[in-house]
Amino acid sequence: MLPLPKKFFLTAASSEGESELTAFDGALLKARVGNTNLLRVSSILPPGCIHEPELIIPPGSLLPIAYGAITCADPGETISAAVAVGIKNDSFGVIMEFEGKCGKEDAEAQVRKMVEEAFRIRKLQLDDVMVASTEHVVKNIGCAFAAVPLWY
C-alpha cells in the first residue's frame, strides 16, 4: 500500500525551449519540480494534507503531482495553465487543472468554476480555494505549466 501524502504546494511557471520537451522541462525547473520524476495523479487532495509553500522535494524523487500543461510553437500566441485546490476543512480536497490558449485570468476562472462544480456534485461544503497560474506569450516554442505536487 502506498502512503498518503501529507504535504502539498501550488506552483506555476512558463518557459521557452528549442523543442516542446525542453520548453516543458524549463517550466518544470522554474516550478521547482524539474529534478523529480513526475507521477501524474488525478485530482484528490488527501485528508489532512498541509499546505507548505516552501516545500523542497529531493532530486530524483518519485513525485505524485496533478498538473496542467500546454506547449505551443505559434509565436505571439498567449498560453496559460492554472490549478486550483478546493478545501473542505476536516476532509479531503479536490484539485482541478486547466491549460489553454487564453490569458491567465480566464485560466483561473476556469479552474475555480471546476472546483466549485466538483464540490457541488460531491455535496461537500467548499471552505477555501487556492489557485496558481501562469501566462506566457510564445516567442518560439513555449510551455505554461501549473501543478499541485503532493509529498510525504
Q: Which residues are identified as catalytic?
A: 37, 42-43, 97
Return d(Cα 17, Cα 141) in angstroms, integer. 6
Return d(Cα 55, Cα 102) in angstroms, integer. 29
In the sheet where 93-100 sits, what is the strand order? Answer: 44-45, 93-100, 78-87, 128-137
Return d(Cα 57, Cα 70) in angstroms, integer. 23
The total of other beta-carbon atoms located within 10 Å of residue 144's CB is 31
Under DSSP, is residue 132 helix (H, G, I), strand (E, B) or coil? strand
Q: What stretch of H or E contains 104?
A: helix 104-122
Based on its alpha-carbon atoms, the radius of gyration of the chain, rounded to whole angstroms, reads 15
